[in-house]
Amino acid sequence: MPKKVYLAITAMIFGASLYGETITICPSCEITSIKKGVELASENDTLLIKKGTYKEFNIVIDKPLTLLGEDFPIIDGEDQGEIITIISDGVTVDGLFIINVGTSYTSDYAAIRVVKSENFLIQNVVLEKLFFGIYLEKSNNGKIYHNKIIGDAVDEYNSGNGIQLWYSKNIVVENNIVQHVRDGIYLEFSDNITIHNNTSSNNLRYGLHFMFSNDDIYTDNTFENNGAGVAVMFSKKIKMQGNTFKKNWGTASFGVLLKEINDAEISNNTFEENTIGINIEGSNRIVYKNNDFINNGWAIKVRGACYTNSFVNNNFLYNSFDISYNSKLNDNVFENNYWSSYTGYDLDKDGIGDVPYRPVKLFSYIVNRTPETIVLLRSLFMDIIDFSEKVSPVFTPDNLVDASPMMKKVGS
Amino acid sequence: MLKILKYSFYDLIRSRWSYVYFLFYLALGFVLLFLNNDLSKAVITLMNVIIVLVPLIGTIFGVMYFYNSKEFTELLLAQPLKRSSIFLGQYFGVAGSLTLSLVLGLGIPFVLYGLFRSEAIWDFTLLLVTGAFLTFIFTALAFNIALSNENKIKGFGYAVLLWLFLAVIYDGLFLLSLIVFEEYPLDSFSLAATMFNPIDLSRTLILLKLDISALLGYTGAIFKQFFGTNLGLMVSVGVLLLWTLLPIWRLSFKSKRKDF
C-alpha cells in the first residue's frame, strides 16, 4: 500500500513537472511564504514546501497548482481564520500539517476549503486544532485521501466538522482518520459519494452525518465511541457495507440512526456494544442482510412508519433486546436470522428451527410504553411474563416472527 | 452465643445439605465459565441466579433448620442461657454456613479462571457481598416466621409466600403502579420502591455497576446518579444492613417474650 502511494506521488510529481515548473518554498529560500509562492506560480506549477513553520492564513489558490509538502511543513494559522481556500479546478494539496484554524461564530473557517471547483485531490494532510477540517462547497469530482484530522472539540456550539461536503457530487473519501471534532464526516445535499475505509471515532456528535444525500455508498468504515453514533437522514438509495459501529454507548447514543431513509441496503456490518444498534424511523424498503448485532442494548429499535423492510441472514447475539416495536402493526419481514436467545429445536436437521422465533419481547413493548419500567430489567417477574407472552402473544404483533430461524450462526 | 453459633455452624457444615449447596454453586460456576469463558459475562448470568436462588434457599433452609432443631432448642432453653444468644447463635450458624457455601462455591471456579487478573473482580465482589446480604436477610426473615408460627406447614407456607412476594409479586405490583401512574413523574417513586425490596435493590445495584447502565437511558439517569456514586453505594449497603438488622432485632425481641 505505501509503495502504491509513493508511486502515485512520484508519478504525480513527474507528471506535474512535465507541465509546469517547481517552485521551492522554505524558510531560508528566496520565497519564504506560500502566499508569495502562489502569487508567483503560473498554472500547473508545483509548489514544493520544505520543512518549516509557515505562519499564514487566508491562502487563496486561484489557479491549478500542486501544493506538495516535504516532511510535513507546518502551516500555523494562529487562530486567525481560514487557512487554504481553493477556488480553482485541478488543485492538489499533499503532505501538509495545518494547525490553529480560527474559530468564529459567524463564518465556518476551515483548514482547507474547496469552493466551486472540480478535480481536486487532498491527501496526506494532517490537521490539528481546527474548527472545520476539509470543507467542500459545491465542488465535484474530487478525492480526499489518507488524511488525519485530530480536533480538540469540547462543546458542540463552538466546534466544527472534520470533513464536510455541501452540494458536492462524485467525491471519494478514503482512508481518513477523524477524531475529536463535532461531526466526523458530514454530508449535506451531496450525491454519488464513496466513503471507504475511514475511521471516525471519539467525536462529539456523530461519526458520520448524512442529510439529503442520495446514491451514496459507504464501505468498511469504523465508527467508534462517538457521542451519538452515525445519523443517516432524509436520503435515498444509500449503501452501507462492511462497516463497524462500536461502543456508541450512552443515554442518547445509536450505532446508526435512520430517519426517512428509503431503498437503502445495509449489509455485512457489525454493530457491537451500542446502546441502540439501529434506530429506525420512517424508513421503507431497506434490506438488512448478513449483519452482526453483538451485545447491544437494543439491536434494532423500530419507532414507527417503517414498511416493507426485510431482515435476512443477520446474527443477533446476546443483545438485551433484539427488536423493539412500538406498534402492533408489522409489515417487515424477518427471515433466516440467527438469534442467540432462540430456544427451539430442529428435528429434521435442515439447520432451520422448527418453531418460529418471536424477537419482540413483551418487556420491550412495556418499556416502549412506560420507559421507567426499564428498572425491572432482568427481574424474575419480567422473565415470567416474557415467557407467557412468548407462548401466546397478546400485546406484541402476532405476525412479527422469524418463521425460519437458523440453528447456527450465519456465516460460521 | 458463640458456643451455640459454633455448634450450629459445625452441625450444618457436617450436614449433607451444605455440601449439596456448595457443590451446586461450584458446578454452576465451572459450567458458566466453561461455556463462555468470559468473566464479566458470567457475572451477569450469575446475577440472575443469585437474586432468585439465594433468597429462596436462605428462606427454606432457615425455616427447615429452625423446625428441625426445635427439640434441641427446647433443651437449651432449660439451661441457664440467655435466650437471645440461643436464637442468634443458631441464626448466625445457619446464615454463616450458607454464606460460606456460596462464597467458596462461586469463588473457587472464578479464582481458578483468573479472577485476580481480571477487571471483573469488583463486580464479582459486589455480587458476593449482595449474595451474602441476601442470605442473611432471608434467613433472618425465615427465623422470624418460624418463631411466630408453631405450625410447621403454616410456617413453610408463609416463608415461601414471602419469597414469592419479594422475588416476583412485588415486581408485578411495581410494574403495575408504574404503568397506572405513567402520567406522573416516577423517578423518586421507583427509587424508593427499589429500596424497599432487598432483591430489587441488589439487582439494581449490580446492574448499574455492570456496563449495562446506559441501557436505562434518560429515565435511568436518576438511578445512575444515585447508585452510580459512592454515596449511592453507601446508602444501598446501609439499607441492606437495615434489612438484616431489623429482622435480627425482632428475632431477639420476640424470643425473649415467647412462651415455650
pLDDT tens-place string over residues A332-366: 899 999 998 888 899 999 999 999 998 888 888 88
| pLDDT > 50? residue A408 | yes
Tell me which H or E stretch contains B137.
helix B121-148
Nearest chain A residue to B178, by CA: A373
Looking at chain A from residue 228 to 267, which residues have their Cβ under 8 Å from any Cβ of chain B?
A: 249-253
Please name the amino acid found at residue A359. Answer: P
Nearest chain A residue to B171, by CA: A381
The grid cell for A75 is: 502551516
Size of interface A-B (CB pairs under 8 A): 81
8 A C-beta contact, residue A307 and residue A282:
no
Tell me, what's the ipTM? 0.83
The model's pLDDT over A55-65, given as tens digits with 9 standing for 90+, comes to: 999 999 999 99
- Looking at residue A26, what is its pLDDT? 87
The CA dihedral of B38, B44, B45, B51, to the nearest 10 degrees, is: 150
| pLDDT (average), residues B31-56 | 81
- Looking at residue A234, what is its pLDDT? 93
| pLDDT (average), residues A159-185 | 94
- Looking at residue B213, what is its pLDDT? 58
d(CA A101, CA A373): 47
Considering CB atoms only, which of B171, B190, B215 is closest to A379?
B171
- Looking at residue B50, what is its pLDDT? 87
User: A251, B172: Cβ pair inside 8 Å?
Assistant: no
User: A377, B207: Cβ pair inside 8 Å?
Assistant: yes
Nearest chain B CA: its distance from A274 CA (Å): 9
Residue A138 lies in a domain: yes
pLDDT-based confidence at residue A3 (cuts at 50, 70, 90): low
**Which has the minimum average pLDDT: A223-237, B30-44, B45-59, B134-148?**
B30-44
Nearest chain B CA: its distance from A251 CA (Å): 4
**Which has the minimum average pLDDT: A117-126, A230-239, A363-372, B5-14?**
B5-14
d(CA B99, CA B11): 15
Give A344-379 as a DSSP string: ---TT-SSB-SS-B--B-HHHHHHHH-GGGGGGTT-
Residue A17 lies in a domain: no
Nearest chain A residue to B191, by CA: A375
Considering CB atoms only, which of A318, A371, A381 is closest to B171?
A381
pLDDT-based confidence at residue A383 (cuts at 50, 70, 90): confident
Please indicate whether residue A336 or residue B13 has the higher confidence score (pLDDT): A336
Which residue's C-alpha cell is 443483545? Answer: A319
Nearest chain A residue to B216, by CA: A374
Residue spans of beta strands (DSSP E) within A295-332:
298-302, 310-312, 315-317, 321-325
Say how many domains are in chain A: 1
User: B175, A320: Cβ pair inside 8 Å?
Assistant: no
Q: Does A376 reach chain B within 8 Å, measured CB to CB?
A: yes
Considering CB atoms only, which of B200, B214, B221 is closest to A275?
B214
pLDDT-based confidence at residue A291 (cuts at 50, 70, 90): very high
Looking at chain A from residue 307 to 326, which residues have their Cβ under 8 Å from any Cβ of chain B?
A: 318, 320
Identify the domain containing residue A138 by its residue range: 79-391
Please name the amino acid found at residue A250. Answer: G
d(CA A358, CA A288): 18
Nearest chain B residue to A363, by CA: B175
Beta-bridge mates of residue A361: none
User: B217, A369: Cβ pair inside 8 Å?
Assistant: no
| Cα angle: A320, vertex A321, A327; to 5 degrees | 160
| Nearest by Cα to A364 from A267, A306, A299 | A299
| pLDDT > 50? residue A1 | no
- Looking at residue A17, what is its pLDDT? 47
Residue A101 lies in a domain: yes
The model's pLDDT over A16-39, given as tens digits with 9 standing for 90+, comes to: 445 678 889 988 888 888 999 999
| pLDDT (average), residues B129-151 | 94
| pLDDT (average), residues B227-245 | 85
pLDDT-based confidence at residue A271 (cuts at 50, 70, 90): very high
User: A375, B204: Cβ pair inside 8 Å?
Assistant: yes
pLDDT-based confidence at residue B206 (cuts at 50, 70, 90): confident
pLDDT-based confidence at residue A229 (cuts at 50, 70, 90): confident
- Looking at residue B37, what is its pLDDT? 65
SS3 A238: coil
**Residue B229 phi, psi (nearest 5):** -90, 170
HSE-CB at A238 with a 13 A cutoff on CA atoms is: 29
Residue A212: CATH number of its domain: 2.160.20.10
HSE-CB at A138 with a 13 A cutoff on CA atoms is: 4
Tell me which H or E stretch contains A13.
helix A2-19
| pLDDT > 90? residue B116 | no
Domain ranges (residues) in chain B: 2-257
User: B217, A373: Cβ pair inside 8 Å?
Assistant: no
Residue A258 lies in a domain: yes
Mean pLDDT for chain A overall: 88
The grid cell for B169 is: 409479586
8 A C-beta contact, residue A370 and residue A388:
no
Residue spans of beta strands (DSSP E) within A73-192:
74-76, 84-86, 92-94, 97-99, 110-115, 121-123, 126-128, 132-137, 142-145, 148-150, 163-166, 171-174, 177-179, 185-188
Nearest chain A CA: its distance from B11 CA (Å): 33
| pLDDT > 60? residue A307 | yes
8 A C-beta contact, residue B139 and residue B61:
yes
Nearest chain B CA: its distance from A247 CA (Å): 11
The alpha carbon of residue A23 and the mean position of all alpha carbons in its chain are separated, in whole angstroms, by 38
- Looking at residue A400, what is its pLDDT? 86
- Looking at residue A9, what is its pLDDT? 57
| pLDDT (average), residues B32-55 | 80
Nearest chain B CA: its distance from A267 CA (Å): 25
| pLDDT > 80? residue A308 | yes
The grid cell for B4 is: 451455640
A370 interaction partners in chain B (CB closer than 8 Å): 178-179, 182
